[in-house]
């Protein structure tokens, strides 16, 4: 059970501080604007050789209430770049992480 409410989480996901605005579009649904923290860090991937290959791992973290019915295949646009949602990870505290694939 989450200790915070959506009102308290809204402070963390405020686009004036840490977050950015994004457009979430469920498959076959209407687009809505949500706020969240976007991270597109490069991660080393072992490909069986001596040197790891660099790979991008875009993640968008937001309030679960904003993406309560999010599913694989939904769309998210962040900073004018389109992404496909590949994994939805609800952590049970009112925060969801969306693993993304650049389109």
Top pLDDT among 33 and 41 is at 33
| Count of C-beta atoms within a 10 Å radius of residue 64 | 19
Task: Find the DSSP H helices in 1-103.
Answer: 6-12
pLDDT of residue 90: 94
Determine the CATH number of domain 6-44+53-102: 2.40.10
Tokens at residue 55, please? Answer: 């790979």
Query: In the chain, what percentage of residues exceed pLDDT 70?
Result: 97
Chain segment 69-89, per-residue pLDDT in tens: 999 999 999 999 999 999 999
């Amino acid at each position: 059970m989450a200790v915070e409410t959506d009102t308290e989480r809204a402070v963390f996901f405020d686009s004036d501080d840490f977050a950015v605005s994004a457009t979430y579009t469920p498959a076959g649904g209407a687009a809505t604007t949500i706020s969240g923290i976007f991270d597109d860090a490069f991660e080393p991937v072992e490909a069986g050789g001596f040197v790891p290959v660099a790979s991008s791992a875009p993640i968008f973290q937001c309030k679960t209430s904003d993406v309560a019915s999010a599913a694989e295949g939904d769309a998210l646009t962040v900073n004018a770049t389109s992404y496909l949602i590949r994994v939805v990870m609800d952590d049970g505290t009112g925060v969801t992480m969306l693993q993304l694939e650049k389109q």
